[in-house]
Amino acid sequence: MKELPVTTPLIQCYPYHANLLSVIQNHSEAFPWILDNYLELEMPDPPLDLRLDFSGPSLWKTCPFVYYQRIERHLVNTNWSNLWNFITQCINNGNYIYLLVNHYHLPVSRYYHNNKVIHDLFIYGYDEQTGMLKVADNFNNKYTYEYVAYKDIKQAYKDMHEEDDWVHGIELIRYRSRPFCFDPLAIKEKLNRYLNSTNLFFHFRIPAEFYKLGWYYGISVYDKLFNHLQLIIEGKSGYDGRPFHVLYEHKTILHQLCNFLEQQGHLPEHYHLSLQFKELAQQTLLLRNHYIKISMTNRLNMLDSLMTKIKQIKANEQLLLSQLINNLSGHNGMQENNLAQAAIITSNSTSLNLKYPPSNLAIPDINMAYLSDEQPTFPVYIEFSWEQPQAFNLIRIKTRFALSIGITDFVVELRRDQKTDWKKVYAVSNLPYEYNDFNIETTEIKLPVMTNIKKLRFTILHAHTVWNRFEINWIGIYDTTSCAENISL
């Protein structure tokens, strides 16, 4: 018996989203990627096509946290003695299985012995003693995990025509751990596109998606839903609750995003935007439930109030998104008034890659790092020089992949001018780090306010050089108070 780990996914309306998220949500390192990739919405322009969905590429194939492969059915049929052996071998190797089957043969499906429907199936475990498989799908309009006998799945696998297989085979994914760079500026760009209903076909120009030329994008999907209700009143459309559920799931992502941004220091907590987006999600949940109730009773006189609610929720969301975008900071704690920006920055160890000079240390962009040369010889000196005397009492150093390339032992020295000696004001050894990924680690050095300073020098005595170099992403030098004790060298 073997069962691969799954968890309840944040998004459940469509199985291809739910299956992927049920795998990667088991790992906290993947959470920022989920927030990054489920922000935009799209909807076909034909009036009766109501498939509201999240915009973006095929996430199964592009998600950095999974190994993806697809095997054609005829290869499975000819290279494995039976489907059971294929499934168990895949699962034993850590691979989750996604394929299409005929749900007519699945006892857990609403189509069992009722209607021949080709639909998704996700397999993540087996029990050889009972001959049962652990599977997941929206079997009865809800994403659930179930046991199904292998004999039923075997029949469901066989009873379909090749032309009905839009997956074109069997897809496998296996989790892999890797770093992901969460970029608040990229988040802001996507939110702007959503708020402005940017036509993503024109934005990305993907030739294979030419059919999306006239689609609804971003917040304009509310207009399509509003028109859908009008068509129901006119007797020109039936009911479909899926887009209202996707709308709700999208707002839960926005709520989770605000929580994350506040926790990471990219969004001021005093605006309480996460609480307001939580309320927005609740409003869309009530909207969905109200729609479902109307669809069950066909009380058309209630649709007017639903149309009013759609307008109100759209206006509320526009307001909240504008506040989120305006207050979202991409500086990663790199505040303004950094005295390093006025300095000339030099080092005796520089990379041959001219894109990463010492001057990058003052740029408020975490991606613009300073790189030492290959296999640096210590000590390495990094010097800040000002034309006018400076006063400061705080230094911040930011590093990513610190366990591989972070500095560990260094001394901070100051001097007034070329005629005075360097004076040591701070030293550290064996600086501890926690991460070896895109997480930013900040070292804070608090000093008495030093005045009349024209030169500052970091003497790097040792660093992690797993990659044959060390890096520093940013250095901030600040005078945080005018009341502290001033010390002149």
Residue 385: enclosing H or E segment and its boundaries?
strand 380-399
Query: What would the mean pLDDT of 315-337 be, rounded to a whole number?
Result: 88
Tens digit of each residue's pLDDT (9 = 90 or more) over 347-397: 999 999 999 999 999 999 888 999 999 999 999 999 999 999 999 999 999
3-state SS string for 403-434: HHHCEEEEEEEEECCCCCCCEEEEEECCCCCC
CB atoms within 10 A of CB 302: 13
Q: What are phi and psi of 185, to 5 degrees?
A: -70, -35
Contact 414, 425 (CB under 8 A): yes
Report the candidate in 287, 279, 285, 293 with the shortest Cα–Cα distance to residue 306.
Answer: 287
Q: Give the pLDDT score at 483.
A: 41
Domain ranges of the chain: 2-33+66-175, 184-327, 339-488
Q: Give the pLDDT score at 482.
A: 54
* 215/235 Cα distance (integer angstroms): 23
Query: What would the mean pLDDT of 99-106 be, rounded to a whole number?
Result: 97
| 277 token code pair | 């987006």
Which CATH class name applies to 339-488? mainly beta
Residues 6+ apart with CB under 8 A from 103: 109, 110, 111, 112, 115, 117, 118, 119, 139, 156
Residues 6+ apart with CB under 8 A from 12: 18, 138, 142, 143, 249
pLDDT tops 60 at residue 403: yes
| 59 token code pair | 């996430």
Q: Give the pLDDT score at 51.
A: 96
Tens digit of each residue's pLDDT (9 = 90 or more) over 108-137: 999 999 999 999 999 999 999 999 999 999
Q: Give the pLDDT score at 289.
A: 97
Residue 432 CA: distances (Å) to CA of 49, 70, 402, 443, 475: 56, 43, 9, 10, 18
Angle at 357 between CA 356 and CA 362, to 5 degrees: 95
Report the candidate in 317, 323, 293 with the shortest Cα–Cα distance to residue 305.
Answer: 293
| 408 token code pair | 């560990």
* CATH 1.10.490 holds for 2-33+66-175: no
Tens digit of each residue's pLDDT (9 = 90 or more) over 141-195: 899 999 999 999 999 999 998 889 999 999 999 999 998 989 998 999 999 999 9
| Range from 175-179, 287-291, 315-319 carrying the lowest mean pLDDT | 175-179
Angle at 437 between CA 435 and CA 443, to 5 degrees: 50
Q: Is pLDDT larger for residue 222 or for residue 481?
A: 222
pLDDT tops 60 at residue 479: yes
Query: What would the mean pLDDT of 59-72 be, rounded to a whole number?
Result: 94
Q: Give the pLDDT score at 119.
A: 95
Tens digit of each residue's pLDDT (9 = 90 or more) over 235-253: 999 999 999 999 999 999 9
| Range from 12-21, 201-210, 292-301, 366-375 carrying the lowest mean pLDDT | 201-210
Average pLDDT, the chain: 93
Where do the H-state alpha helices sit in 328-455? Answer: 402-405
Q: Is pLDDT larger for residue 426 or for residue 417?
A: 426
